[in-house]
A and B are shown apart, each in its own frame.
Chain A
Amino acid sequence: MKFFQRFFASGTLFIWLAGGALACSLLLIGGLLALIFINGMGYFWPKDLVQLTLKDDTRVLGEIVDTQRIPETISADFPDGQSRIQLKVGNRDVYGLDFRWVDETDIAQRSWPKDVIAFERREWGNFYGWVTAVWDGDTPLAEGRDIAWSDWYPFLEQTESIHREIHHIEHDVIGAINADMERARLNLKVLESKGEIPQDSADILEREIQQREAAYQEQIERLVGLYERLNRYRVTLVDVTGEEKTFPVGGLVKAWRPNAMTVPDKMLMYVENFWNVLTEEPREANTEGGIFPAIFGTVMMVLVMSVVVVPFGVLAAVYLKEYARQGLLTRMIRIAVNNLAGVPSIVFGVFGLGFFVYAVGGTIDQLLFSASLPNPTFGTGGMLWASLTLALMTVPVVIVATEEGLSAVPREYREGSLGLGATKFESLMRVVLPCAMPGILTGLILAVSRATGEVAPLMLTGVVKLAPALPVDGQFPFLHLDRKFMHLGFHIYDVGFQSPNVEAAKPMVYVTTLVLVLVVLLLNMTAIALRTRMRKRYAGASV
Chain B
Amino acid sequence: MTSNTVLRWGLYGILFLFAAFYLMPLFVMLTTSLKSLEEIRTGSLLALPREITFAPWAEAWSTACAGTQCEGLRPFFWNSVLMAVPAVAISTVVGALNGYVFAQWRFRGANLFFAAILFGCFIPFQVVLLPMAQMLGLMGIAGTIPGLIFVHVIYGIGFTTLFFRNYYVTIPQELVRAAKVDGAGFFRIFWSIFLPISLPIITVSVIWQFTQIWNDFLFGVSFSGPGSQPVTVALNNIVNSTTGVKAYNVDMAAAIIAALPTLLVYVVAGKYFIRGLTAGSVKG
Q: Report if A and B associate in a common complex.
A: no
